[in-house]
Amino acid sequence: MTLILDGKLVSKQIREEVAEDVQLLIKQGVTPKLTVVLVGDDAASQIYVKSKERACAKAGIISETIKYPSDVLKQNVIDKIKELNNDNSVHGILVQLPLPEGFNESEIIELIAPEKDVDGFHPINSGRLTSGINDDYFVPATPAGIIEILKRYKIEIPGKHVVIVGRSSIVGKPAGMLFLRHGNEGDATVTFCHSKTKNLPDITKTADILVAATGKPKLITADMVKPGVVVIDVGINRIPSKYSEKGYKIVGDVDFDEVSKLASAITPVPGGIGPMTIAMLLKNTLRAVTVFGKKE
Ligand code: GUN
């Protein structure tokens, strides 16, 4: 029997835990606040930001979204981030990616105060995660969600061969760093694969835990996995579908129907890592208050 790793269910538990902690903070006089900066009209980003707003509201976290048109002057965005850095009522700042053409994403991300960078994308946060010499950092929400769902389903990580397909700064790379950390939630042997990897199936077949984060619909097929593998599908891809009213359906990077026949456990899409990401963002926002400051 294949275990379906239900991100919807687990993320609900996490959101409830966060909501309880938020109430404790509110009693102490601090209401956590997340400010999202959204530039342009990328359709998927609009949907993600709406979900983040809804999740914050349910957890008792104040959320504010500052929207700019795609032709906004870069300086306006820069000034806003500096203002948010200095605003003691704002605990977390998130600039939704991708930014429109003409923006240098790393330039913008590096402006965010690291102690408010709830995405964990600032080089200080990613550097501390990678170096392991300091625990004062934020872990990006999607990779954090991957580890958390495995933990909640009591799937052992230490000693396992984790193969990560995809090397993005948002998912693939930080996920690899988490699996590599010392301790019960890490201690894995990690292999990174990407679009230039030769003999991809030969490598993915050796995975005990396979993480697919490529943005390529159904890239991972049944002939690429070994029986008993644990599959984490991070993909959220729209493909045309004449059976859906919207004209499209959402699929992952894994051919779920076929791969799930071989896997011992697998995350579905939707309802797997997607909801976990939002729950972990809420946890990071809480951490921004409890670890990095209670000033208001
Ligand atoms: N775009 C896609 N995923 C993310 C994310 O986790 N954070 C931000 N800021 N933008 C994204």
On whether both 111 and 218 belong to a single domain, the answer is no
Check if the beta carbon of residue 97 is closer than 8 Å to that of residue 294.
no
Q: How far apart are CA 149 and CA 267, in angstroms?
A: 9
Instruction: For residue 102, give the CATH number of its domain.
Output: 3.40.50.10860
Domain containing 156 — which CATH number? Answer: 3.40.50.720
For the stretch 114-167, pLDDT in tens is: 999 999 999 999 999 999 988 999 999 999 999 999 999 999 999 999 999 999
* Digit-coded pLDDT (tens) for 62-74: 999 999 999 999 9
pLDDT grade for 292, boundaries at 50, 70 and 90: confident
Tell me which of 21, 33, 52, 208 is the catalytic residue: 52
H, E, C per residue of 85-112: HCCCCCCEEEECCCCCCCCCHHHHHCCC
Distance 170 CA to ligand 1 centre (A): 7
Q: Are strands 92-95 and 33-39 parallel, antiparallel or unpaired?
A: parallel
State yes or no: pLDDT of 216 exceeds 60. Answer: yes
188, two tokens: 């894995």
Q: Of the residues 119, 208, 253, 255, which is catalytic? A: 119
Identity at 156, one-letter amino acid code:
E
CB-based burial of residue 280 (10 Å sphere; 0-12 exposed, 13-18 middle, 19+ buried)?
Answer: buried
Does the residue 216 lie in any domain?
Answer: yes
Ligand 1 proximity of 96 Cβ (cutoff 6 Å): yes
Distance 1 CA to ligand 1 centre (A): 34
Q: 261 C-alpha vs ligand 1 centroid, how far in Å?
A: 31
In terms of domains, do 99 and 172 share one?
no
C-beta of 284 in contact with ligand 1 (< 6 A): no
Based on the fold, state whether residues 152 and 231 are members of the same structural domain.
yes
- pLDDT at position 2 over 70: yes
Q: Are residues 162 and 266 in the same domain?
A: yes
Same domain, 145 and 269: yes
Domain that holds residue 259: 141-273
Answer yes or no: do 265 and 226 share one domain.
yes
Active site residue 246: no
Residue-averaged pLDDT of the chain:
97
Query: Are 152 and 186 found together in one domain?
Result: yes
Supply φ then ψ for residue 68, to 5 degrees: -130, 150
Tell me the C-alpha distance between 91 and 18, whole Å: 15
> Percent of the chain, pLDDT > 70?
99
pTM of the model: 0.97
Q: Given ligand 1 and candidates 118, 119, 278, which is best to mutate, with the most ligand atoms within 8 Å of its CB?
A: 119
Single out the residue of 152, 187, 140 nearest to residue 287, CA to CA: 140
User: How many structural domains compose the chain?
Assistant: 2
In a domain, 237, yes or no: yes
Whether residues 96 and 153 share a domain: the answer is: no
pLDDT at 295 over 50: no
Give the integer Cα–Cα distance in Å for 271 and 182: 29
Task: State yes or no: pLDDT of 294 exceeds 60.
Answer: no
46 is catalytic: no
The DSSP secondary structure of 198-229, one letter per residue, reads TTHHHHHTT-SEEEE-SS-TT-B-GGGS-TT-
* 119 is known as an active-site residue: yes
Round to whole Å and give the CA distance between 119 and 296. 21
For residue 173, give the DSSP letter: H
Atom 1 in ligand 1: residue holding the nearest Cα: 97
Query: Which ligand 1 atom lies nearest to the CA of residue 142?
Result: 6
- Whether ligand 1 lies within 6 angstroms of the CB of 126 is answered as no
Q: Does ligand 1 come within 6 angstroms of the Cβ of 144?
A: no
